[in-house]
Every structure is written in structure tokens, then in C-alpha cells.
Structure 1
Amino acid sequence: MKHDTAKRFDYHVWANQKVFEHLQSLPKELFTKEIKSVFPSVSAVVVHMCVSDALWLNIISGGEYDEAKALAMRLNEELKEADIEKLSAFFDETAHQYQAFFEGAENLDAPLTVKLPMLGQRETSAAEMTNHVINHGTYHRGNISAMLRQMGHASVPTDYAYYVFQ
């Protein structure tokens, strides 16, 4: 039976795919257009989301924070000029890696020790950190929605209710 965390992650995948599909339907220049907002461009938000998902997958898979941070720095460099199609494909691949992790994990609620520079060593679980990833994605999809409106374009609804009632 699928763990509740994996089910909620399915929502994260659905919502990001909705946003990415919408971004692909808009004029290409909107994706990289610099604006005064939380991020300098929509593309910068999407890169941040993709890199963050990869960073946390590394950590919940047992990687150390320094290793995950080095991965994030490398990915930021590799993806900073990527178009929405490449970033969407990157996100899809990362989502498949999460799904494989969920399928192979014996217990997503098992204790997981994470060492974070600002917080020190903390006890958590893969389920809790995946919930962080999902919440983080929701937050940044809101950034994208606001940025698109700022540029005169509508966003796409990604509230959880839309996912549940689709």
C-alpha cells in the first residue's frame, strides 16, 4: 500500500506539471524576463524548485548536507540557462527518483538524522522532509503565480482540491 507521503508527493508532481505545461503555453520571453519580485525571473524560481527537490532527495536518501549542497551548487550552474522544457524534464526525472525511493524504502517514518549548518543535528524522517519538499513547492508555485500576474498573465490553479477533485 502506498504511504500517505508518497500520495501527497503525487500532488506535488501533478501541480508542478500543471505549472510547467502552462509556462510552456505562454510567450517564451516571459520565462526569463527580469522583474522586481521575490526572484528575478520565473525561470529562477523553477530552477530553485528543481534544485531543492534534488537536494532533499539526496538528504532523505542518506546523503550528508555538504554533499547535497555541492550537488545543488552544481545543478544551479547546469540549469541556470535551461529552458522550461529542459527544467520540466529534469523535474520529471527527479520525481521518478523520488518514486523509486518511496517504493524501495522500508519505512518512510523511520528516524533520519540530518545535520544542517544553521540548525545543527536534528532527528526527522524521510516522510517529514518529503512534506517539506511538497510545502516548499506549493510556496514557490505561489511565487510563480504572482509573478505571472505581475506580467499581465494568469496562472493555473494548483490548489490541492483541484488535484483531489480532478
Structure 2
Amino acid sequence: MDARAHFLTLARYNGWATRRLLVALEPVSDAQYRADAGLFFKSIHGTLNHLLVAEHQLWFRRFAEGLSPTVALNAEVEPDRTRLAAALQDGALRWEALIATWQDTVWDGALNYTNMRGQPQSLPFAATLAHVFNHATHHRGQITAALTALGHASPELDMVYLLQGQVP
């Protein structure tokens, strides 16, 4: 598989898994959604806000625009639950469109940006993009564990189900 096809699959999985998780969160009460669940970013809401910050306000802008924004990783950039869900879904869709535009030469190149401490960074492009999708998977896993602990059903998010076409 070529790099573009691989990363388009990861982007498609990211959107699919994000949608499934957000649907599974709909029956969760606002009190449970905002309560400290022992996650790194405390609550389900805090963790979803972190995903919006990291995936869309930091990494997407680094890859798409060559910018290095500064925003706290624990910032509550969207307090409204419905708007946060919409922003996460919309953001996930943007990755596929962006990846489709890249030339074949980018995969073996570097992503140059300035980190949150103001230090210049140069990381392998493809491996860093893999980090973005892996990071989202990690935090979705934390949220599904919180859902289970709260007594709610956890959605099936294994990528193999997307690939098999078994779970819409």
C-alpha cells in the first residue's frame, strides 16, 4: 500500500471512530459527561476538548498551514457539548481532503514547526501524521473505558470492523 492510501485509510478510520464514539455518548447525562472520570484530561468533556485542541487546532494547522499555534492542551475551547461534537466530526473530515492533496514526496520529508515551548522541531512527516491518528485512538480508548465504568455501552471501534464493512 502506498503512503497516501494508508493515511487516507487512517483518516477515514479516525472519522468513523469519532462518529461512533460521539453517538455512544449521546445517552450519557451531562453530569456524567462533565464529571472527573479519572482520565488524563479529567472528564469525557475535557478529553474531547483535548482532542479538538490537539488534533485540529495544533496538528491540523501544522500540517495544512505550516503554522504553530499556541494553545493549552487542556484548554476548554468549546464548552457546548453539541458544538464540540460537531467540531470534532467536521475536523475529522478535513484530514481526508488534506491528505488527498499532498504530493508523493511529502511522505519521506519532514514536518517543521515550533513546539509549545517555542522550540523549532523537525520530525519525520509520515511518522508524525501517524502520531496524530494514534493519539486520537488513545484518547477514544480512555473515553470508552469511562463509558463502561459509568454503565453505558461502549461502541465497537476496532479498525478491522471498518475494513470489513461490518459496522456502519
Q: Is the 8 A contact 2:50 2:73 kept in 1?
A: no
**Number of the residue aligned with 2:136:** 137
**Number of the residue aligned with 2:63:** 60
Are positions 1:98 and 2:95 aligned together? yes
Q: 2: CA distance between counterparts of 1:103 and 1:137?
A: 20
Are positions 1:147 and 2:149 aligned together? no
Paired letter, 2:95: Y
User: For the structure 1 residues 124 and 23, does the alpha-carbon distance in structure 2 shift closer, same or farther, using more than 3 Å as the test?
Assistant: same
- Comparing 140-149 with 92-101, greater Cα deviation is found at 92-101
Q: Is the 8 A contact 1:114 1:124 kept in 2?
A: no
State the identity as a percent.
23
Q: How many correspondences in the alignment?
A: 159
Q: Is the 8 A contact 2:49 2:75 kept in 1?
A: yes
Q: Is the 8 A contact 1:56 1:129 kept in 2?
A: no
Query: What is the deviation of 1:100?
Result: 2.5
Q: Is the 8 A contact 2:24 2:153 kept in 1?
A: no
Paired letter, 1:141: R
**Number of the residue aligned with 2:123:** 123
Q: Which runs of 5+ in 2 are unaligned?
A: none
Q: CA RMSD for the aligned pairs?
A: 2.6
Q: Is the 8 A contact 2:114 2:121 kept in 1?
A: yes
Q: 1: CA distance between counterparts of 2:36 and 2:84?
A: 18
Paired letter, 2:88: F
TM-score (norm 2): 0.80
Spell out, residue by residue over 1:34-57, the C-alpha distance to the aligned partner (whole angstroms, 9 max, x if none).
333433211001111111111101
